[in-house]
Structure 1
Amino acid sequence: MKAIIIDDEKAMHLIMKRMLAKVSAVEVVASFSETAAAFTYLTKHDVDMIFVDISMPRENGLEFAQRVRESGKETKIVFITSHKEYALFAFDVYAFDYIVKPVAQERLFNTIQRALAEKRPERLQQAEQEPKSNEVKFNCLGEIDIQSTQGTRAKWKSSKSAELFGYLLIHKGRRVSRARLIEDMFGGMPQKNAEIYLNTTVYQLRKVLDSFGVKESLYSDSNHYALSISQVKVDFLAFEEGCRQLSVIDETTIEQAIELERLYTGDLFGDRAFAWSWNEAERLSLLYTSFTQKLCAALLNRGETNAAIRLLMKLRVHNELDEEAFMLLMKAFAVQENTEALTRQYLQYEETLHKEIGIKPSREASELYAQLLSGLDLSYRKKMRQSPDR
């Protein structure tokens, strides 16, 4: 296991090297008195463990660790410090361990043994996963989730890591500035705290993506972030593209349309109401409503009244004030000659409009109801006249 030492006291270099030399599994490959040279070294060499002092000139150990995490490296970081009060901040940059000076040989040995114990299972797990093909899906309709064909689902490190995933995803691969991310996701928080939380959240998201083998899909530089979607399937993008392709639903496309409607399992991000996503969620909701209305009209034309009613009832739950879906539902009940259901739906719609926005059904809706009811009444009387028992 390769390790480097970063400490502005030369004496600590000697002490740590002597102590680490007693552990055969560790090789100290470099030591540094400041973090800039150490970071440059890390860009060119693979290292398993970093032993770094927190109290350093210019850039302290915590700030250095943040840079390491932002670069995407998951190198185990062990802080060596004389100060206990930094332990909470060390957690924010996912420190592997936190050792207070003077360093005891046994304490150091236990840290290294724990690192070695973790390293072997990681390699075994990677070896087991490499031969298997694994398709990854990003799902945001009704939820925020990542799924693989191997049955794995995302285990979010925090609610903010899930939110960052959704935020970058709706930008469809476009770069987003750090300033805009901080404003939209951490607004109202002091700038320095917001920057720390953003760094931690980016690192958490990268860890989740790495568990699916798509860590490289998260792009970052000093001022921007982006989430590539070229190697994964995204449910709301697939739904949107499907709606464009099926602008006309007829006998040749109705089965495709039925499958596409099933893809919309709920509004964007489900119950997670992010202020920055309201416009996009509303746009997709309206797209779903318009598409499903066309599908229901096609089903009614094909005589599949029950299937149309099931979808129209689903639309009523989705948006109980939508008049076009309501009028299609009345027509479907009229086709079934179900006067009771027709009347019940109209009265419910009338009550909802009055309760929610204080208005009555439109003239078109009320006239259609009267027309359908009259037609059913005429049909009933005609049947009664033709009945042999009369």
Structure 2
Amino acid sequence: MNVIVVDDEPLALRGIGRLVREAAETGEVREFSLPRAALAYAREHRVDAAFLDIEMPGMSGLELAKALKDENPDTHIVFATSYDQYALDAFAVRATGYLLKPARLEDVRRELTFIYGEQRECARRPGIVRVRTFGGFEAEVDGVPLSFRRSKSKELLALLVDRRGCSVTTREACAVLWEDAPYSASQRSYFQNVAADLRAALAAAGAEAALVRSRNSLAIDPALIDSDSYRFIEGDPVAVNAYRGDYLPAYSWAEYSVGSFLRAH
């Protein structure tokens, strides 16, 4: 795991850096006294977690957190500050943790234990289709992105993930995927090609079991899908912090599901 520590006060920077190194199980810890230098680093390297001071000249920790999330929404943000009045602001930028200085080793270890635990949960489930629906739609198995021959095949998977295990008939799927086109035999035939491509993509990744087929309908098995949207509904704080109202933004039909996230929290 790659961790950065950012604080404009040298003593505080060294202190938090030392605690993170002592608490971290594996990976690399880099220290930055300048927020913009940390952001430049994050644009070239994946940052899994960032421990940030809040009050810094030029760019505040809150601004840096937002910029880091823009680069990688999965980056965990932990604020380490001398002031407690920023807690609500920290929540607004989807922070994972909030530590008051002087931070203690057990506090830092607790935050890292939570982050490591979330990463292990995904790593120990081989063959699971990991899906990102916030900020876009991507799907992978064991760290390898699924490869689709047709863009509609990818959209069909997104639709099935959105339905969370409920079956979708051929006619229903066509009405969503081609909302402006009348249902016809040629459309039904093309949909069969789209569905076959989806099956092939999952089979090539060793995850064909995630697709549940019955006569004239398709569904996914939610137990074989690790989706940020599913974890959000379950109340997982990492998923809740990652959501910015941008659920499956490429697909207009997904707008109807946004209300379920508002009701969930």
TM-score (norm 1): 0.38
Shift of 1:71: 3.2
Q: What RMSD, in angstroms, separates the aligned Cα atoms of the two structures? A: 3.6
CA distance in 1, matches of 2:243, 2:18: 33
Counterpart pick for 2:157 among 122, 136, 144: 136
Per-residue CA deviations over 1:122-157 (Å, capped at 9, x if unaligned) read: 223574212889733559xxxxx9336315596596
Instruction: Return the letter of the residue paired with 2:108.
Output: L
Aligned match of 1:261:
none
> Does 2:168 correspond to 1:147?
no
Aligned partner of 1:223 in structure 2 is none
1:61 Cα offset (Å):
0.7
For 1:201 and 1:17, the matched residues in 2 are separated by 24
Number of the residue aligned with 1:260 = none
CA contact (8 A) 1:72 1:203 kept: no
- Aligned-residue offset at 1:67: 1.8
* Counterpart secondary structure, 1:204: coil
Structure 2: gaps of 5 or more residues: 130-140, 148-153, 165-218, 234-239, 260-265
Q: Whose RCO is larger (CA < 8 A, sep 6+)?
A: 2
Q: Residue by residue, what CA displacement relative to the aligned partner does 1:302-335 show, whole Å, maximum 9, x if unpaired?
A: xxxxxxxxxxxxxxxxxxxxxxxxxxxxxxxxxx
Task: Report whether the alignment pairs 1:122 with 2:122.
Answer: yes
The change in CA–CA distance for 1:36 and 1:85 in structure 2 (over 3 A counts) is same
Residues 16, 28 of structure 1: alpha-carbon distance in 2 compared, 3 angstrom cutoff: farther
Alignment match, 1:98: 98
Contact 1:7 1:34 in 2 (8 A): yes
In the aligned structure 2, how far is the partner of 1:103 from the partner of 1:201?
22
Post-superposition offset of 1:65: 1.1
- CA deviation string 1:1-52 (max 9, x = no partner): 2211100011122212322232351444321112111111111111211010
Given residue 74 of structure 1, which amino acid in structure 2 is its aligned partner?
D
CA distances 1:253-279 after superposition (whole Å, capped 9, x unpaired): xxxxxxxxxxxxxxx959x8xxxxxxx
Give the secondary structure class of the aligned counterpart of 2:31. strand
> Which runs of no fewer than 5 residues in structure 1 stay unpaired?
140-144, 159-199, 210-217, 219-226, 237-267, 273-390
Structure 1 residues 20, 70: CA separation in 2 closer, same or farther (over 3 Å shift)?
closer
Q: Secondary structure at the match of 1:5?
A: strand
Secondary structure of 1:55's aligned partner? coil
Equivalent residue number for residue 30 of structure 1: 30
The one-letter amino acid paired with 2:162 is I
Between structure 1 and structure 2, the one with the greater Rg is 1
**CA drift at 1:77:** 0.6
Structure-1 residue corresponding to 2:39: 39
From the superposition, tell whether residues 235 and 54 of structure 1 become closer, same or farther in structure 2 (CA, over 3 Å).
Answer: closer
Task: Write 1 or 2 for the structure with the bigger share of helix.
Answer: 1
Amino acid at match of 1:100: L
Contact kept? 1:87, 1:98, Cα under 8 Å:
yes
Provide the secondary structure at the position in 2 that maps to 1:84.
coil
Distance of aligned partners of 1:76 and 1:202 in 2 relative to their CA distance in 1, 3 Å threshold: closer
Within 5 Å, which residues of 2 pair with 1:57-72?
57-72=57-72
Question: Would you say the 8 A contact 1:20–1:26 is kept in 2?
Answer: no
Matching of residues 1-390 of structure 1 within 5 Å = 1-125=1-125, 127-129=127-129, 130=141, 135-138=156-159, 146-147=162-163, 149-152=219-222, 203-206=243-246, 208-209=247-248, 218=249, 227=250, 229=251, 269=256
Residue-by-residue CA offset, 1:161-182 (whole Å, 9 max, x unaligned): xxxxxxxxxxxxxxxxxxxxxx
- 1:201 is displaced (CA, Å) by 10
- Distance (Å, rounded) in 2 between the aligned partners of 1:235 and 1:55: 41
| Structure showing the higher strand proportion among its residues | 2
Q: Which amino acid aligns with 2:220?
A: Q
CA separation of 1:24/1:235 partners in 2, compared to 1, >3 Å: closer, same or farther? closer
- 1:46 alignment partner, SS class: coil
Q: Within 2, Cα distance between the matches of 1:202 and 1:28? A: 23
Question: Aligned to 2:128, what secondary structure does the other structure show?
Answer: helix
Question: 1:241 maps to what in 2?
Answer: none
> Following the alignment from structure 1 to structure 2, what is the Cα–Cα distance between the partners of residues 18 and 35?
19
**AA paired with 1:204?**
R
Q: How many residues align?
A: 172
Query: What is the distance in 2 between the residues matched to 1:235 and 1:86?
Result: 37
Identity %, equivalent residues: 27
Q: Distance in 1 between matches of 2:253 and 2:85?
A: 45
AA matched with 1:115: I
* Structure 1 residues 48 and 90: CA distance shift in structure 2, 3 A: same
